[in-house]
Amino acid sequence: MEEKINSEENAKLPEENTGSSAEDSANKPTTPGKKPAEGGEKPKPKPKPVAKDPRDKLYKPEKSLIISTSPHFHTGDSVPKIMWTVVAALLPATVMAVYYFGMPAVIMIGACVAAALVTEIIMNKMKGEPLTINDGSAAITGLLLALTLPPSLPLSAGIIGSVFSIAVGKHIFGGLGYNIFNPALLGRAFLQASFPVVMTTWTYPGTEKYANIDAVTAATPLAQFKFEKILTGYSDLLTGNVGGSLGETSALAVLIGGVILLVMKYADWRIPVSYLGSVFLIGGIFWYFAPDQYPDPIFHMLSGGLMLGALFMATDMVTSPITPTGAWIFGVGAGIVLVIIRLFGGVPEGVMYSILFMNAFTPLINRYTRPKYFGEVHA
């Protein structure tokens, strides 16, 4: 009997457990936001989870990285620093110009620089771009142009040349870094074509050597030798006590500033070395065979605007080649053109034309002297 009663109680246990489970589930609170299915309605299927982007697992630096092609230079130099350093390097030549030609030199230099800065501002406004006068490129253009002008040039002509240098020589090509030709030399070429008489009218320095000379105009050392076979002394060419442009007279003052640029590596030494070296070598060959007809190579080096052009204009970072081989080609080519113009041309000086001529070939020189990329194979 006891075994029968125990078996009946054990049979009732599942029913009690089932009832309690149903009762608990009925009393169990539903999840907020979810309604229990009524009338046998099926619950809506859950949306499929969005696939995660595998790139989210990658490392994300705090600062964004800029990826670009080589070369990668890590230096504290900048465009304003380089430009204002060039202006400082031109101070010796500027001081000598003021010393020899006085207040006319001060007025001409100030007017050219001011006109260049004002033109820069106007062009920035017309193009809708931020002002760029602080980078020093406009100031150096006006200063270089002034140093290539005669002391007796009318002030209006110098201002016109500065406006042309900035507006046409620089901004018409897109601004700094896009100009093909040296802006200062392009402005001087414009003045040479527009005002040929006043651009070839020179005055003597205001020193004791020329105190008793009543002549209003003077000839440059190059013109004196070309047309009169008169050779100027080396000491006068070094110090600048001769007739000529404001900054072309003292070869020593220009050389001091040029050495500063070479030491600071703001100018590629290959260009002035190849330029001056080719003039010295080719000019020396002609002098060796006909010393009565052609000047000696040292005279070539110290006279005219060769030093100023070789150290400050031919080395312009924008208009000169960027490859080492291209720099040699550029300098030698400019030297050959200069000697041809000086010895066989109708004008005594040709620095301006030689540099502008080679500026036109700079893109071509860069293309054919480009070094091979790593792993590059020609087809």
The CATH number of the domain holding residue 154 is 1.10.3430
**Is residue 20 assigned to a domain?**
no
Give me the helix-helix angle, 183-194 and 351-359, nearest 10°.
Answer: 120
**Is residue 1 assigned to a domain?**
no
Count of domains in the chain? 1
**Is residue 2 assigned to a domain?**
no
- Using only C-alpha atoms, the chain has a radius of gyration, in whole angstroms, of 39
Output the tens digit of pLDDT for each of the chain's 379 residues: 455 445 555 544 444 444 444 445 445 555 454 555 555 566 777 777 777 777 666 666 666 666 766 556 666 778 889 999 999 999 999 999 999 998 999 999 999 999 999 999 999 999 999 998 998 999 999 999 999 999 889 999 999 999 999 999 999 998 888 899 999 999 999 999 999 999 988 887 877 777 666 555 667 888 888 888 888 888 888 888 888 889 888 899 999 999 999 999 999 999 999 999 999 999 999 999 999 999 999 999 999 899 999 999 999 999 999 999 999 999 999 999 999 999 998 888 999 999 999 999 999 999 999 887 766 666 5
**Is residue 29 assigned to a domain?**
no
| Other CB atoms within 10 A of residue 120 CB | 26
**CA angle, 62 then 68 then 71, to 5°:** 120
**Is residue 22 assigned to a domain?**
no
Shortest CA distance to 155 belongs to which of 200, 189, 121, 105?
105
**Is residue 125 assigned to a domain?**
yes
Rounded distance between C-alpha atoms, residue 225 and residue 313, angstroms: 25
Which domain does 291 fall in, by range? 79-368
Rounded distance between C-alpha atoms, residue 128 and residue 379, angstroms: 45
**Is residue 6 assigned to a domain?**
no
Rounded distance between C-alpha atoms, residue 349 and residue 355, angstroms: 12
- What the block records as the tokens of 116 is 């260049």
Task: Please give the pLDDT value at position 1.
Answer: 47
Task: Please give the pLDDT value at position 49.
Answer: 75
**Is residue 135 assigned to a domain?**
yes
Say if CB 162 and CB 112 are below 8 A apart. yes
Task: Please give the pLDDT value at position 15.
Answer: 46
